[in-house]
Amino acid sequence: MNYEAKRSNSEQSEEITGSAVSNSNDASNHASKKNKSMSKKAICIIAAAGLMMAFTGKMDIKVKGSDTVLPLSQKEAENFMKKNSDASITVVGGGSGIGITALLDGSTDIAMSSRELKVDEKLKLKEKKIKQVVVAFDALAVIVNPKNKVSQLTREQIEGIYTGAIVNWKEVGGDDEKIVVYSRETSSGTYEFFKEHVMAKKNYAAAVLNMPATGAIVQSVKQTKGAIGYVGLAYLEKEVKDIAVSYDGKTFVKASMKAAKDHTYPVSRPLYYFYAGAIEAKVKPFVDYILSSEGQKIVEEVGYVSIKLEL
């Protein structure tokens, strides 16, 4: 804008001079051209300096939401910051719904989610022109205590346990012991996904214990013989037992990276990043890093499934 203003004033000055003096000498013309050239160079230097400041400025990104995506985002952020000393990325869990709410009120740059946006969320976020990026895939494992002799369940049996129709392990081939059912709380995308895809959209039983974080489910199942819960692949540990699941009553498959990749495990899902279109330039370097070959190797190191078929 300054350059155009200076150029306009210069042209006006030349026109006025041209009407007052019919013949200008060569020295005057040369001086005028030199001044214009210097002005252009000065503007170019200022513009370049501005770009340099923008490029080297501190990158401060807030990421919030899904506990499922949390360990992946933490590892990706850690590696990205090692490579970019001016980057500062804060990653906080709490649940997909918490992240999406934070995106709506502007308190986070990126919302992590283990589910798609709901219709009402899309309407609320419409003005922000939300961008959706799949960063990885996950298989949702059903876990029990290692002392539990049950090693497989059908989808219908799992539904029965979570809706309260089945309350004792002896009803599904186990010991005569009460089933203690653990779930994520309602703000969790995993809670929503499990309800829709495993429970056929039926309501959770009142006796189900809702936990604030996935890690809390793992701890509770470890310590309780009659417990059952569900977790993402990255949360599987030796101290809990993941059981094989069947949707047809015949083929039982355990959750694993391989089974998720070849689609033989029936409870698989994409993991998302959501962000406003207006800040795309700000978050894109980090998002692009996650989607790169290096970033996708981290996806598999953490325990999830890469979006790339081959690494």
Has residue 42 got a pLDDT over 50?
A: no
Q: For the ranges 19-28, 64-73, 212-221, which has the lowest average pLDDT?
A: 19-28
Q: Give residue 49's pLDDT.
A: 37
Angle, CA 22 vertex, CA 21 and CA 23 arms, to 5°: 95
Q: Give residue 118's pLDDT.
A: 94
Rg of the chain's alpha carbons, rounded to an integer? 29
Structure confidence at residue 13 as a pLDDT band (50, 70, 90): very low
pLDDT-above-90 percentage for the chain = 78
Torsion angle (degrees, nearest 10) of CA 221, 223, 226, 231: 0
Has residue 186 got a pLDDT over 80?
A: yes
Mean pLDDT score, 159-175? 98
Side-chain half-sphere of 243: how many Cα atoms within 13 Å?
A: 25
Query: Using one digit for the tens of pLDDT, what is the confidence trace for 108-121?
Result: 999 999 999 999 99
Q: Give residue 88's pLDDT.
A: 97
Structural domains present in the chain = 59-137+270-302 (3.40.190.10), 138-261 (3.40.190.10)
Task: Annotate the chain with three-state secondary structure.
Answer: CHHHHHHHHHHHHHHHHHHHCCCCCHHHHHHHHHHHHHHHHHHHHHHHHHHHHHHHCCEEEEEEECCCCHHHHHHHHHHHHHHCCCEEEEEECCCHHHHHHHHHHCCCCEEEECCCCCHHHHHHCHHHCEEEEEEEEEEEEEEECCCCCCCEEEHHHHHHHHHCCCCEHHHHCCCCCECEEEEECCCCHHHHHHHHHCCCCCCCCCCCEEECCHHHHHHHHHHCCCEEEEEEHHHCCCCCEECEEECCCCCCECCCHHHHHCCCCCCEEEEEEEEEHHHHHHHHHHHHHHHCHHHHHHHHHHCCECCCCCC
Query: Using one digit for the tens of pLDDT, what is the confidence trace for 210-245?
Result: 999 999 999 999 999 999 999 999 999 999 999 999
Structure confidence at residue 283 as a pLDDT band (50, 70, 90): very high
Structure confidence at residue 309 as a pLDDT band (50, 70, 90): low
Angle, CA 213 vertex, CA 211 and CA 108 arms, to 5°: 130
Q: Output 11 or 37, whichever has higher pLDDT.
A: 37
Mean pLDDT score, 184-204? 95
Q: For the ranges 11-25, 108-122, 256-270, 293-307, which has the lowest average pLDDT?
A: 11-25
Q: Give residue 58's pLDDT.
A: 81
